Amino acid sequence: MAAPGAQPEGTGDEEGASAAVRSMFDQIAPRYDLLNHVLSCNIDRLWWRRAARSFRQVLARPDAQILDLCCGTGDMTLALLRRRPKNGRPVLAADFAHQMLLRGAAKFVPRGAIPLEADALHLPLPAASVDLLTTAFGFRNLANYRAGLEEFYRVLKPGGELGILDFSEPGGPMGRLYAFYFRRVLPAVGSLVSGVSGAYRYLPSSVHRFPAPPQMLQTMRSVGFEPVSWTPYNFGIAGLYRGQKPS
């Protein structure tokens, strides 16, 4: 039976997978921003901004409660804050990797966000309390994808929106070229610069085991999100999943 979520090498259950992911990101936190921008040729900045722009209507509402989950070092949080009014409620920026959150907080707290150290599968938030929940390149690392979607559904208000920005595996010639870079070049460079080999071997394997868009959309529907959609970015290297909790 397939594992329900991420499964780093050497782990056999959800608890072990979760602990391994947390440890991995704490280790690479000091070089995370540098490697993200170098390895993506700065395209990642465009992805965050484009995803935030997709939710400009809810972001423009001063009273909207925004949660950026698996916020890491805060780049998606900053993209959301750029579209918040000056009198808007603070954005909640949550992550369970302490070292990542520390680095993110240094960037986004002065801009009006509140850091929250929390597990995406067990959020310390009331039901129906969030208007928009986003997560950028973090959902793929959850130990149980369906449980994550169910928790997102729980905390969203009726009519609330969900945005999941994450990698995928494109097909065709571009897909073959990308696969070579992603599985051979990226792990070597990432390991060399960060000094941590496991994390950058894990990255391509985590993308490979992540559900393809049709399966991901079906799981979102089965949890209760409707409508749902997927918008590919840059030939499908990444893409934005959107869903709404029916009102």
Q: How far is CA 85 from the centre of its chain?
A: 24
Question: Are the beta carbons of 224 and 153 closer than 8 angstroms?
Answer: yes
pTM: 0.93
Q: Are 55 and 76 in contact (CB under 8 A)?
A: no
Is domain 14-244 in CATH 3.40.50.150, yes or no? yes
- Residue-wise pLDDT tens digits, 136-162: 999 999 999 999 999 999 999 999 999
Strand partners, 113: 91
Q: Judge whether 153 and 130 are in contact, CB under 8 Å.
A: no
pLDDT (0 to 100) of residue 240: 98
Specify the pLDDT at position 183. Answer: 77
Q: Domain extents for the chain?
A: 14-244
Lowest mean pLDDT among 120-124, 218-222, 230-234, 235-239: 235-239
- Using the 8-state DSSP alphabet, how is residue 8 labeled? -
pLDDT on residue 1: 38
Contact 134, 76 (CB under 8 A): yes
β-bridge partners, 242: 163, 229
**Whole-angstrom Cα distance, residue 221 to residue 224?**
5
pLDDT digits (tens, 9 = 90+) for 149-196: 999 999 999 999 999 999 898 888 877 887 787 777 777 777 776 677
Task: Work out whether the CA dihedral 106, 108, 110, 112 comes out positive or negative.
Answer: negative
